[in-house]
A and B are shown apart, each in its own frame.
Chain A
């Protein structure tokens, strides 16, 4: 038996496994399942609390969010990349947040 936390608003499965997860009950719920679900492919039906397949739109949104998280992590996790970005931002007088957004957008498109 595994326990998974999901967003009440969207039914997106966030984290869980063979343990007792904690969450904010105002925004999240917990479902008990026989096996780990694939959070990319499955959602919780917020009305019935049963597992359903993700819709194509949900899959697209999930993949985009995953890619965004991964790329931002690469940007923030590599100090050399970040130092270069800060140096460029200062040289071109561009806010760092803007530089990050634009660099990540280029990175995602590569």
Chain B
């Protein structure tokens, strides 16, 4: 939010004030010289003795929070100044809206920071270096995080096996990791580029073994909520879960999850975090994995009991309901169990566990600038694959071209009548990016790719579904970009063996 300003906003104070005064009167008519929206800073000083406010030892910056006519409501001692008396006899005190340090910093923060013009960057053009180096070929200009535009960047390299400027900011190279690429500088000079590990999502809890059945939600009044206890090994924000669910009949309404604290071995009935609400009618009748995001995640503690609670608002019905797949016989997960809620009481079932995965956000850290460097700008991403080799890419501004190497093959799919939840964290950064796909299939097929809540993907080209892209693949076909959230998409194909690639992405 920008600070309200007007030109020539100088006013004369009427009366004298102690250091605690929070309401100040101005000379009649002077109030209209000031902005009419709030808050904004004013410098208050003894104008009789000090023509320049900076010379007054009792100068003070105050924050105006409201004004009625010529009376100001203020907060004293802003921006590190001290509240002081303004009551020396026969002196005239004035207030002036000049630019303050906080206003200047706000200008920098709100300006177009960390952007670039005519940026070209890629994995190294020499084949013997492409596995561990990237090159900034050129940028007309890069706007750094402090708002300064630094011009003319050419032929700068970063080596993932090195440290500091021209290397990795901290730690050592790790395989199967996304790295951000940063332009760094010292007040516009000493330009360099550097790697910084991107945030990722750790699969902390993976309870998939022993799946042999399911439990229904809202098929009867005895099951209006379902829950699964869990504990994580790594503390951090819980941004999403994967669950394996399905519908029976034609329920209409929504379902969602909460993360809840433990209360005597069962959920507390108070949400620590609430997920997106999904349309239950869009579930398939075949069980499918669904990713459920928590947009305002709760930061869970390690080795602490929590519960994932499944809610629904659809009518309780013995024929139209949804179910959560589970291990229903002698389940072995030791850090929580299944429970069901009848509207008043939770009942646990200690030898049953629902099938679920919990992901914890980690490595969400600031760049460590090398000594003396004071500017940074994010200019790209690169993935270091499981073999410790950077995946080939070329990038023009924010558009990344991946080529058609095996490194960029997402996977291979058999035909199915339900979507396959596919995690793309080994390809693109864990940010909101637009991903371009290309598909190969020896058999002519229809393919659909959808967003997380497109749980009802089908391959009927004429059937329009929110959040879904469809295409016909005859040997090879492309799809328009899809906006990726929480590193996953749903994929479905109706014939043969589909080979799906990422051919580019935009960020």
Cβ of B186 < 8 Å from any Cβ of A? Answer: no
Contacts A39-B412, A69-B443, A70-B475 given; does A18 touch B424 at CB 8 Å: yes
Cβ of B289 within 8 Å of any chain A Cβ, yes or no, is yes
Asked if B387 is at the interface (CB within 8 A of a chain A CB), the reply is yes
> Does residue B373 face the partner (Cβ distance < 8 Å to A)?
no
SS class, residues of chain A in contact with chain B: mixed
Interface segment, one of A9-17, A47-55, A96-104: A9-17
- B-side contacts of A69, CB under 8 Å: 442-443, 496
Minimum C-beta distance from A73 to chain B (A): 4
Instruction: Give bound CA distance, A69 to B497, whole Å.
Output: 10
Q: Are B410 and A77 in contact, CB atoms less than 8 angstroms apart?
A: no
A15 B406 Cβ-Cβ under 8 A: no
Q: Which of B378-403 contact A (CB under 8 A)?
A: 385-387
Cβ of B202 < 8 Å from any Cβ of A? no
Is the C-beta of B483 less than 8 angstroms from some C-beta in chain A? Answer: no
A14 to chain B, nearest CB (A): 7
Is B411 an interface residue when CB atoms closer than 8 A count as contact? yes
Top 10 A-B pairs ranked by shortest CB distance? A17-B411, A77-B444, A34-B386, A70-B442, A15-B412, A73-B443, A18-B423, A69-B442, A19-B422, A15-B414
Q: On chain B, which size bracket covers the interface?
A: 20 to 34
**Within the complex, which residue of B176, B289, B412, B425 is in contact with A17, where a contact is CB–CB below 8 Å?**
B412
Contact in complex: A16, B420 (CB < 8 Å) = no
In the complex, chain A residues whose CB is within 8 Å of the CB of B360: none
Query: CB distance B414 to A17 under 8 Å?
Result: no
Given A2-B411, A20-B208, A70-B475, A35 and B387 touching (CB < 8 A)? yes
Q: Which residues of A contact B310 (CB under 8 A)?
A: none
| A36 part of interface (Cβ distance < 8 Å) | yes
Interface residues on A, range: 20 to 34
Chain B residue nearest to A77 in the complex (CB): B444
Across-interface contacts of B241 in A (CB, < 8 A) = none
> Which residues of B sit under 8 angstroms from A5, Cβ to Cβ?
414
A59 to B474, CA, bound (A): 24
Question: Given contacts A15-B414, A17-B410, A73-B443, could you give 5 more A-B pairs where the C-beta distance is less than 8 Å?
Answer: A34-B387, A36-B410, A76-B444, A77-B444, A77-B474
Q: Complex formed: what's the CA distance from A5 to B385 in Å?
A: 22
Contact of A73 among B422, B423, B496 (CB under 8 A): B496
Interface check B426, CB cutoff 8 A: yes
**Complex partner residue of B442 from A16, A18, A34, A66, CB under 8 angstroms:** A66
Q: From A67, which residue of chain B is reached at the shortest CB distance?
A: B442
Interface string of B195-224 (1 = CB under 8 A from A): 000000000000010000000000000000
B244: nearest chain-A partner, CB-CB? A20
- A19 x B385 contact (CB < 8 A): no
B469-488 CB contact bits vs A (8 Å, 1 = yes)?
00000110000000000000
Tell me whether A36 and B289 are in contact in the complex, defined as CB-CB below 8 angstroms, given that A14-B497, A19-B422, A76-B444 are known contacts: no
Contact between B475 and A19, CB atoms less than 8 A apart: no
Q: Which residues of B contact A36 (CB under 8 A)?
A: 406, 409-412
Q: Which of A19, A38, A70, A77 contacts B423 (CB 8 A)?
A: A19
B413 interface hit (Cβ, 8 Å)? yes
A57 vs chain B, min Cβ distance (A): 21
Q: Report the minimal beta-carbon distance from B492 to chain A, rounded to whole angstroms.
A: 11
Q: How far is the CA of A15 from the CA of B412 in the complex (A)?
A: 5
Which residue of B has the minimal Cβ distance to A34?
B386
A-B contact pairs, 12 of them (CB 8 A): A2-B411, A4-B412, A14-B414, A14-B497, A17-B411, A17-B500, A18-B422, A19-B411, A21-B414, A35-B386, A69-B442, A69-B496
Asked if A73 and B176 make an inter-chain contact with CB atoms under 8 angstroms apart, the answer reads: no
Question: A21 to chain B: which residues have CB within 8 Å?
Answer: 414, 420
| B227 contacts chain A at the CB level, 8 A cutoff | no
Of all chain B residues, the one with the shortest Cβ separation from A5 is B414
Within the complex, the shortest CB–CB distance from A27 to chain B, in Å, comes to: 13
Please, which residues of chain B bring their CB within 8 A of the CB of A76?
A: 444
A16: B residues at CB distance < 8 A: 411-412
Distance between A23 CB and nearest chain B CB, rounded to angstroms: 8
Chain A neighbourhood of B387, CB < 8 A: 34-35
Q: Which residues of A contact B500 (CB under 8 A)?
A: 17
- Among residues of B, the one whose C-beta sits closest to the C-beta of A73 is B443
Q: How distant is the Cα of A21 from the Cα of B387 in the complex, in angstroms? A: 23
* Chain B CB within 10 A, most for which of A4, A34, A66: A34
- Give complex CA distance A16, B500 in Å: 11
| B183 interface contact, C-beta 8 A | no
Please give me the residue from chain A that is nearest to B413 by CB atom: A15
Q: Does B185 contact A (CB under 8 A)?
A: no
B421 within 8 A of partner (CB): yes
Q: What chain B residues lie within 8 Å of A2 (beta carbons)?
A: 411
CB distance from A37 to the nearest CB of B (A): 9
CB of A81 to closest CB in B, whole Å: 12
Chain B nearest CB: distance from A31 CB in Å? 13
Q: Which of B419-457 contact A (CB under 8 A)?
A: 420-426, 442-444
Asked, given contacts A34-B176, A39-B412, A73-B496, whether A19 binds B420 with beta carbons under 8 Å apart, the answer is yes
Contact B497 A15 (CB under 8 A): yes
